[in-house]
Structure formats: C-alpha cells, structure tokens
Amino acid sequence: MVSRMTFWANRLSERLWVRPLLMCLLSVIAAFTAQWLGSGGLAVYLPTISRDSLETLLSIMSSSMLVIATFCVGSMVAAYASAGTSATPRSFALVIADDVSQNALATFIGAFIFSVVAIVAVKNNFYQQGGHFVLFCMTLLVLAAVIVTFVHWVDRIARLGRVNSTIEKIEAATAKALAHRKQAPLLGGIAIGELSGPLVDIHASSPGYIQRIEMASLQKQAELQQAIVRLQVVPGSFVFPGQVLLQVSGANSLDESCVSALQNAFVLGRSRTFIEDPRFGLVVLSQVACKALSPAVNDPGTAIDVLSSFARLFSQWSEPLPMEALAPCKFDKIQVPQLAIMEMFDDAFNAIGRDGAGCIEVVLKLQKTLASLADCPVPGMREAALHHASKALTRSDACLTLQEDKQQAKAAAAFLSDK
C-alpha cells in the first residue's frame, strides 16, 4: 500500500495544478479563519487596524500577485522548452516536477486568492475589529512568504532547464530508482526457478509501457489459485496486445475474473517513468549525451559529464548493501527476473560509444569509466565493462583519423589485455 501511494504521489507531482489547488484551498480557509480568531474574548485587547489601510494593502497584493504568477508561468514554460531542446524531451517530467518552481507558483496563486477573498470579505463587513488585526497579521505573513519564495525561485529558475541542471535531476531520479531496486532486486518476489505442471499464459489486452506492477494483487490471485506466477516483463517493458505478461503454473483453471485481475495488476502508460524503472534513467542520460555529440550541438563536455554520472550511478549500484537494508520477500508466489547488468550497460554506453567514437576526449573518458567499473565486485559487471570497452575501442579505431589519437585510445583501453 505504501509503495502504491508513493507511486501515485510521484505521478501527481508531475501535474502543475495540484499544489496551486491545495494552496488556493488553504488561502480561502485562512481568510475565513481570521474572523474566528479575532472574535474571541481576547479581541478587546487586540490593536485597532484601519479598514482602509487593510483594503489598500490587500488590493496591492492582489494586483501584484497576479502579475508575478503570470511571470512565473512564463519563465517556467521557457525553462521547460529549454530542457526539451538542449537536453531531451524525456527529461520534461523531471523538470516540471521541480519542487521550488511548483511551490513558487502555488505560493503566488495562493496569495492572489487569499487577497481577493479577504478584500471581498472586508468590503462586506465580514470581519469585526479583532478580525481586522488577525487578517492584517496573516497578510504580513503571506507577504513575507511571497518575498522569500520569490528570491529562492529566481535563483532556481536561472538554472532550471539548463543542461547541467537537467543532468543532475536525471541522475538523482535514476539514483533513487536504483537504490529502490537494490533494496528489492526482485520487487519483493522470488528468483526464477523451475515450474511444474502446465503453464497458462496471461496476455496483454492493450499496448503501452509497463509503469508499475501491483505485486500484492498478483500474490493474492496466486494464493487463491494455489499457483506460482512467473513474470515475463518488468517495469519499463513495452507490451503489445497478445504479448505474454506472465505465466501461471499449478492452477487448475482460471476464470475470466481471475484473468482480468492478473491483467489489471499491470499499470500501463504511454511513456516510461523514472519511479520504478531504473533503466529508463540510464537511457535518458545516454540520450542527453548523444544529443550533445550531434553535429548541430557539438558539445563533448556534456557527454563527458554524463559519463561521470554513469560512473557514480554504477559505483553506487556496486556498493554492498547490509542484509538488514534488504526488503523482505513478501511475494513468495511470484517469480521475478533479475535486472541484468549487461542490459544496463547497453542502455548507458552503447549510444555514447557509437556517437562519440570520433571524438578522442569522449573516447578516453569512456575507456577510463569502463576501466574503473571493471574493478567493481558486482557479478557480471566486469564482463559487461570489458565487452563495451572492446566494442568502443573498435568503433574509435574505425572513426579516428589521427594515428596519435588511436594510440591514446588503445593506451586507455590497456586494461582489456588483463581479461
């Protein structure tokens, strides 16, 4: 349940309307709470605030907040367009989910709604004298929050949408997804094993990317049928109608409701997400590097930065995890395939090795990165690093024209001779 709520909370964070809507509700509640707070027994001891001064202050705030909110939206749209143009459109979901920008927009719109509601209430004599003072204090607090938020937001919007900032966001989202998968490498299930008896295939009914698998729902159906379920796809896979999603072993018969429940356990969408699909982050980082290496951009420095991100991410993946940090096996009826190291390396290094083969700076950085990853103790990582280093060296030898550059590339790949 916690995992499901986290998934949908992360999806909601990608919607711009959520926080402004919540802030608008809080603003309306605050405007009406001022009368309740100012009508108690202590109201006679509160200072007197002129109604005209309060109306003037609220009018200034309402007119200025609408302008600032409009300016905020324009700046955010420009930053989103910049992120899609300079980095990759796949990073849009991360850029739009920026907390500082969303909080700024919500604060500005909330302040506007608060001032409008308060002006209407003041002009209709809704507040008593004590309510005027409480409303005045609330208005000052709102103004202080607006000023602090605006200063913080201006510092952030200057970076939002820039390539380096986008790379940092993608790397952070990928690191989070990798850490989550590292704690539950089999999504809480069991490793692939032998299945006895006839197998029943459950097929996809519609096309789309698998964004999430409801493991609890699959476990429930497996227990009801006294069967074992083997997943054929994982989050991030694209499925077609009729493609096998899973196999059920040991069930006598599966009625229509059971098949429907098994199919509905797979949440499909039009695009991949970073939340439960760690390989997607590797793909997006690789796309950023390839775009930077295109002749139209010609920015090998960005590709080098991405390779540094890969070095940090795979080093984090290779760090041993204490046994107590591993998630318990909660779904003992579900067999789940492992996340393959070779496929992760394919996502990360294939495209960069191809597009950067003619740039000696990228070639050297790629070989140094793979050489360091070849020493990691994770099973299969050394083989994957050696495979991609050898392939990158072959590509660079075919693309580099200067003999000295070729010799440098071979010297950087000298660790291949130790395999």
Mean pLDDT of 8-32: 70
Q: Are 301 and 359 in contact (CB under 8 A)?
A: no
Identify the residue with better confidence: 17 or 405: 405
Average pLDDT in the 228-237 region?
93
Across 140-164, average pLDDT: 83
Smallest CA-to-CA distance from 64 within 98, 23, 112, 24 is with 112
pLDDT at position 381, please?
A: 93
Confidence of residue 153 (pLDDT cuts 50, 70, 90): confident
- Section 351-366 average pLDDT: 94
Cβ-contact 246, 231 below 8 angstroms: yes
Mean per-residue pLDDT for 353-377? 93
Is this structure's pTM higher than 0.75?
A: yes
Amino acid, res. 364? L
Q: Average pLDDT of the chain?
A: 85
Nearest to 279 by CA among 24, 90, 64, 38: 90
Residue 39 pLDDT level (bands cut at 50, 70, 90): low
* Rounded Cα gap, residues 22 and 105, in angstroms: 12
The full set of domain ranges for the chain reads 2-161
* pLDDT value of position 16: 64
The first and second tokens of residue 125, run together, are: 């004599």
Kindly state the average pLDDT of the residues 252-263: 86
* Alpha carbon of residue 175 to chain centroid: 10
**For residue 2, pLDDT beyond 60:** no
> Per residue, what are the HEC states of the chain?
CHHHHHHHHHHHCCCCCHHHHHHHHHHHHHHHHHHHHHCCHHHHHCCCCCHHHHHHHHHHHHHHHHHHHHHHHHHHHHHHHHHHHHCCHHHHHHHHCCHHHHHHHHHHHHHHHHHHHHHHHHHCCCCCHHHHHHHHHHHHHHHHHHHHHHHHHHHHHCCCCCHHHHHHHHHHHHHHHHHHHHHCCCCCCECCCCCCCCEEEEECCCCEEEEEECHHHHHHHHHHHCCEEEECCCCCCEECCCCEEEEEECCCCCCHHHHHHHHHCEEEECCCCCCCCHHHHHHHHHHHHHHHHCCCCCCHHHHHHHHHHHHHHHHHHHCCCCHHHCCCCCCCCEECCCCCHHHHHHHHHHHHHHHCCCCHHHHHHHHHHHHHHCCCCCCCHHHHHHHHHHHHHHHHHHHCCCHHHHHHHHHHCHHHHHC
pLDDT score, position 96: 73
What pLDDT score does 182 carry?
Answer: 92
State what percent of residues in the chain have pLDDT above 70: 90
The pLDDT-based confidence of 123 (bands split at 50, 70, 90) is confident
pLDDT at 189 over 80: yes
Q: What's the confidence (pLDDT) of residue 406?
A: 92
Query: What is the pLDDT averaged over residues 342-355?
Result: 95
pLDDT classification of 364: cutoffs 50, 70, 90: very high
- State the chain's maximal CA–CA distance in angstroms: 90
Q: Which residues lie closer than 8 Å to 23 by C-beta, 6 or more apart?
A: 106, 107, 109, 110, 113
User: For residue 250, which of 271, 231, 222, 274 has the smallest C-alpha distance?
Assistant: 222
Q: What percent of the chain has pLDDT over 90?
A: 41
- Give 41-92 pLDDT, tens digit per residue: 555 556 777 778 888 888 888 888 888 888 888 887 777 777 667 777 777 7
pLDDT score of 371 more than 80: yes
Q: What is the pLDDT of residue 41?
A: 53
